[in-house]
A = this chain, B = another copy of it.
Amino acid sequence: MNWKEQQKYDREQLILAQAENMLFQTADNQLNMDELALAVGISKGTLYNHFSNKDAIIARIMERNAQNFLQMMRETMINVDDSLMKLKTLIRTIIRNPYFIFVLRNKPDMTGTTELVRIFEHILGELGVLFKHLQAQRLIDPVYPTPFLVSYFIHLFDPAIFDYLLKEGVLEDQIVALTERFFFHGTQKEM
């Protein structure tokens, strides 16, 4: 990378970092290009030289976070021995990380062929492997088709529920415990 490329790269990283901050400061994850240019200290023209529109910025942020999510999953698979503990560790890690929840809540339309779809295929595939393993060990009821489990797992994480319960005075640890319990009870064999 020469000096000019390095400068371009650095500025793009700065724009992405600032855009990510703004996305996570608004409840509905909105991004405003005028405010973004102002916050980075560049003209709107310069901003559009780097990214052709708002969606291009959001796509890059999503890709980066989805990649981090995949990395976290792979580290959990390697570092945690017991399969049930792998799944519990995933739940605990995701529920406390707004960036990971953002990834799950913005699952792309999987018919596309973007980089993000490719990363998601890995995430969903590796979750599927873990669930199949738990079903083979009879830790999760084999009656549930694996896509059913993967999909409901992804739906477990709703920041609105989390925020509401925190406001109601339910402790964070208690919310994590209830979420874990709901999913594990739900997937047990007929009582």
**Chain A interface (Cβ within 8 Å of chain B)?**
27-28, 109, 111, 143-145, 147-148, 151-152, 155-156, 158, 160-161, 164-165, 168, 170, 178, 181-183, 185-188, 190-191
Known contacts A182-B186, A186-B185, A187-B185; is A158 also within 8 Å of B155 by CB?
A: yes
The one of B148, B161, B185 that contacts A161, using a Cβ cutoff of 8 Å: B148
Central interface residue in A109, A144, A186, by most chain B CB within 10 Å: A186
Central interface residue in A28, A161, A183, A187, by most chain B CB within 10 Å: A161
**In the complex this chain forms, how many copies of it are found?**
2
Q: Which chain B residues border A156 with CB–CB below 8 Å? A: 152
The one of B27, B145, B164, B187 that contacts A168, using a Cβ cutoff of 8 Å: B145
Nearest CB on B from A87, distance (A): 15
